[in-house]
Amino acid sequence: MEGWVALYIFMLAAFTGIEIIARVPAILHTPLMSGSNFIHGIVLVGAMVILGMATTTAEIVVGFIAVFLAAGNVVGGYVVTDRMLEMFKSSGQKKEE
């Protein structure tokens, strides 16, 4: 990929991120931080590619650590966020149950 194309992607992604979070009520700040924490768990994909291409011992060891850490990021991020969001109910929703 050419550097300029990457720069355009970075720029558009940055605006998207700011737009998404700009009008969020304070009540959702913690779940949203936790949710975005989960989303950067996509680093697992990169870690898997690194480990999949690794040939020397050093590469394999560091690649293994990368996959291990990233998997923790993905699973932990998801479970924590899900547990938080599980709790959000309005009084209307409660009465229906």
**89 phi and psi, to 5 degrees?**
-140, 145
Check binding of 18 to another protein (CB under 8 A): yes
Q: Does 97 bind another protein (CB under 8 A)?
A: no
Closest CA to 40 of 59, 17, 15: 17
Does 57 help bind another protein (rule: CB under 8 A)?
no
Q: Is 8 in the site for another protein (CB under 8 A)?
A: no
Q: Verify binding: residue 75, another protein, rule CB under 8 A.
A: yes
Q: How far is the CB of 31 from another protein (least distance, A)?
A: 6
Residue 66 CB coordination number (10 Å)? 19
Structure tokens at 75: 């699973």
